[in-house]
């Protein structure tokens, strides 16, 4: 488990990360999402101990990263945005070297290296210099070094950056497989990566944590979209029995009226939709559309980054 408690990182007068809090449980695949420069990489470097927070604390499995750095790092695998590869080395030699650095015992090294090779699909490149590999294979080798000690926590910074579509798909599958045995934190500015891989998303904006939510919860809606022939006064009259429904938006186009209707109760929105439909029908209302408003990650991300200020969401 990872606990991030009020961490900030300052560079002189510039604040790269500002008072961020979150907790990640074992087995989660979490996307750290934000525009370039939002503070994602700084947070990842602090999680791995590469940077110290200016303020705040990070705990790995209950142990402070500041007080027990070696114990905490032994649980992690890390792929930086620029893979830590030695281009002149043969792939197999590089993986053996990394295994030794990670403290994998001599008796376990062959098993660890074979497992990492199989998981990343780099068998055919084992005896080639890293400098001769394509970007996609270099990324695979980068992931192989990150998982070679079978870490409990896997941290990946922009792992699909610069890959072609087939390489991206392979990397996604690789990350999903790794997620079966490790907690995975994936930093990216690509929304599709989070949608395709992650269970949960943390959105960073200007160094602040702007959103912390499970992806499934993002699609839950408290709003209805209604398209009808009735004008606003008529719709308000029809909805009068529903005291927890409010019209928040109205557009008229081609003799049709479109409304956004917000529910202020905690009742299931689908039940509310059914009841509203029955009421509209009894009032001879023509219904062109009536459905819960679907909220996706792109809509949420756009909404967050269009605001002039970011509220703390932790």
Spatial distance between the Cα atoms of 186 and 138, rounded to a whole number of angstroms: 18
Mean pLDDT of 177-183: 88
pLDDT digits (tens, 9 = 90+) for 103-161: 899 889 999 999 999 988 899 999 999 999 998 899 999 999 999 999 999 999 988 88
pTM above 0.85, yes or no: no
Spatial distance between the Cα atoms of 159 and 171, rounded to a whole number of angstroms: 8
Give the chain's domains with CATH numbers. Answer: 2-218 (3.40.50.300), 223-292 (3.30.70.260)
10-48 in b/e burial notation, b at 16+ Cβ within 10 A? Answer: eeeeebbbbbbebebeeebbbbbbbeeebbbbbbbbbbb
pLDDT digits (tens, 9 = 90+) for 212-265: 999 888 877 889 999 999 999 999 999 999 999 999 999 998 889 999 999 999
Mean pLDDT of 167-191: 89
Q: Give the pLDDT of residue 307.
A: 66
């Amino acid at each position: 488990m990872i606990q991030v408690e009020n961490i900030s990182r300052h560079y002189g007068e510039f604040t790269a990360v500002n008072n961020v809090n979150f907790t990640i449980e074992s087995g989660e695949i979490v996307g750290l999402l934000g525009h370039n420069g939002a503070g994602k990489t700084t947070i990842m470097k602090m999680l791995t101990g590469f940077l110290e927070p200016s303020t705040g604390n990070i705990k790995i499995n209950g142990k402070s990263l500041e007080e027990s750095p070696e114990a905490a790092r032994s649980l992690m695998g890390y792929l930086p945005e620029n893979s830590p590869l030695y281009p002149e080395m043969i792939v197999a030699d590089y993986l053996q070297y990394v295994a030794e650095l990670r403290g994998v015992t001599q008796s376990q090294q062959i098993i660890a290296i074979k497992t990492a090779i199989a998981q990343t699909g780099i068998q055919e490149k084992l005896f080639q210099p890293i400098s001769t590999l394509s970007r996609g294979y270099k990324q695979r080798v980068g992931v192989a070094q990150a998982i070679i000690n079978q870490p409990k926590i896997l941290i990946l910074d922009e792992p699909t950056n610069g890959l072609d579509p087939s390489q991206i798909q392979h990397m996604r599958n690789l990350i999903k497989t790794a997620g079966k045995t490790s907690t995975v934190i994936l930093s990216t500015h690509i929304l599709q990566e989070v949608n395709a891989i992650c269970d949960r998303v943390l959105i960073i904006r200007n160094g602040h944590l702007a959103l912390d939510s499970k992806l499934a919860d993002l699609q839950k809606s408290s709003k209805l979209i209604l398209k009808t022939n009735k004008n606003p006064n008529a719709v308000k009259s029809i909805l009068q029995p529903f005291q927890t429904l409010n019209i928040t938006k109205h557009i008229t186009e081609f003799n049709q009226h479109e409304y956004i209707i917000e529910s202020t109760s905690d009742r299931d929105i689908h039940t509310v939709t059914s009841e509203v439909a029955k009421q509209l029908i009894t009032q001879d209302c023509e219904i062109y559309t009536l459905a819960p408003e679907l909220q996706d990650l792109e809509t949420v991300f756009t909404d967050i980054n269009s605001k002039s200020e970011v509220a703390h969401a932790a």
